[in-house]
């Protein structure tokens, strides 16, 4: 699942957010996603093989070192990021991806681990034999049992009499909070430091409220110039730290450029890393912008947010920043601006 920022322009933020609720209750605002034919095809053709272990038991770990170390019985992996579902515990069996191909995996179990910081681990794994596999019709008693256990559907939909689900075609969030992980995104001008509305902090990544910062305020009270300068300074410092780390380890064995510093790979080759230059990095990180904007009840976004922060149909960041700033400039000074942490 993913968190992302949404700027709501104008009053009645909750009313503006409501139409984009994933779990919207009104049936006439939903469409039915029919999965019956898809499930039948899987079952009848017997083309899917499933491990004896329940599929959700597997988690994928990626590492640039694995191709070199795959011949060893036991290997150490550094800076493994726990997304929440990964079972970082001794004895846990995991599927380890050794290339970009989804099926190019080996199996291992965790021998021991050490937590470095929140959600970051060094782990030692031992490679084991691949589990035995069975065809779907050998594993499950019947089609209904397969759908229930493999896909998680207890019964067919009462209205459509088919396996499937109802969804809001305009869904963009399943919950949100003012501030959240992005608390204090707005800096107030010195004369207005006691204005605005403070949101709530994320339970996972708590932040203390800072004087002079807020999550909702009138445009005329917000110091965008100072905000951009702060972003510039942080971006410059982060890239300088990346350069220091990269000079010492160009094979990326001790750090991840994107997760640790937000530096993107501009190479077209999957097995090659070429960092974006400093100017591009700072330009991308120095400007204030959010992932999406709601204005006059309409949703505008740079791309479509999905699982684990994956974005599709994404336009170049430079274009989105240009559109965002143009929209921001056109907003009247007395307009309320609110920054929400949305989750999908």
Are the CB atoms for 178 and 184 separated by under 8 Å? no
Are the CB atoms for 64 and 252 separated by under 8 Å? yes
- Per the structure, the complete domain to which residue 158 belongs is given by 31-50+134-167
CATH of the domain at 61: 2.30.130
Are the CB atoms for 156 and 28 separated by under 8 Å? no
Token couple for 306: 């999905």
- 66 and 92 together in one domain: yes
Q: What is the pLDDT of residue 99?
A: 63
Burial bucket for residue 302 (CB in 10 Å: 0-12, 13-18, 19+)? buried
pTM value is 0.68
- 21 and 77 together in one domain: no
- 97 and 200 together in one domain: no
- 290 and 183 together in one domain: yes
- 176 and 160 together in one domain: no
Q: What is the pLDDT of residue 305?
A: 47
Task: Give the max Cα distance, the chain.
Answer: 72
- 117 and 244 together in one domain: no
- 254 and 335 together in one domain: yes
Are the CB atoms for 88 and 110 separated by under 8 Å? yes
Distance CA 121, CA 108 (A): 16
The number of distinct structural domains making up the chain is 3
* Residues linked to residue 77 through DSSP beta bridges, in sequence order: 123
- 59 and 188 together in one domain: no
List average pLDDT for each run of 10 residues in the chain, which is 344 residues long.
91 96 91 96 76 43 57 77 66 72 74 83 84 78 92 94 96 95 96 94 84 97 96 96 96 92 90 93 92 93 56 72 91 97 94
- 146 and 270 together in one domain: no
State whether the Cα torsion 41-44-49-53 is positive or negative.
positive
Token couple for 172: 């963009």
- 92 and 238 together in one domain: no
Q: What is the pLDDT of residue 74?
A: 82
């Amino acid at each position: 699942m993913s968190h992302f920022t949404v700027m709501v322009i104008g009053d009645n933020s909750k009313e503006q957010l409501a139409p984009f609720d994933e779990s919207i209750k009104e049936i006439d605002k939903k469409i039915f996603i029919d999965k019956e034919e898809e499930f039948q095809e899987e079952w009848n053709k017997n083309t899917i093989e499933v491990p004896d272990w329940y599929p959700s038991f597997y988690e994928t770990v990626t590492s640039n070192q694995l191709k070199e170390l795959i011949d060893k019985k036991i290997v150490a992996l550094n800076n493994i990021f726990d997304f929440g579902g990964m079972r970082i515990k001794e004895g846990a069996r995991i599927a380890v991806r050794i290339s970009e191909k989804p099926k190019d995996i080996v199996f291992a179990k965790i021998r021991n681990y050490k937590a470095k910081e929140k959600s970051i681990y060094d782990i030692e794994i031992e490679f084991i034999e691949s589990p035995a596999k069975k065809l779907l019709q050998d594993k499950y008693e019947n089609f209904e049992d397969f759908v229930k256990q493999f896909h998680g559907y207890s019964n067919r939909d009462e209205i459509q009499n088919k396996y499937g689900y109802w969804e809001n075609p305009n869904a963009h969030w399943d919950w949100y909070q003012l501030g959240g992980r992005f608390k204090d995104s707005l800096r107030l001008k010195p004369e207005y430091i006691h204005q605005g509305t403070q949101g709530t902090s994320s339970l996972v990544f708590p932040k203390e409220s800072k004087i002079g910062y807020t999550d909702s305020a009138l445009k005329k009270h917000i110091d965008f110039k100072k905000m951009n300068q702060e972003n510039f300074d942080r971006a410059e410092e982060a890239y300088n730290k990346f350069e220091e780390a990269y000079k010492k380890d160009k094979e990326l064995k001790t750090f991840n450029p994107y997760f640790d510093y937000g530096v993107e790979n501009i190479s077209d080759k999957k097995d090659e890393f070429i960092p974006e230059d400093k100017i591009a990095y700072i330009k991308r990180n120095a400007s204030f912008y959010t992932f999406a904007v709601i204005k006059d009840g309409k949703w505008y976004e740079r791309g479509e947010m999905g699982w684990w922060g994956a974005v599709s149909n994404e336009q170049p960041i430079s274009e989105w920043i240009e559109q965002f700033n143009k929209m921001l400039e056109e907003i009247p000074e007395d307009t309320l601006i609110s920054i929400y942490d949305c989750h999908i």
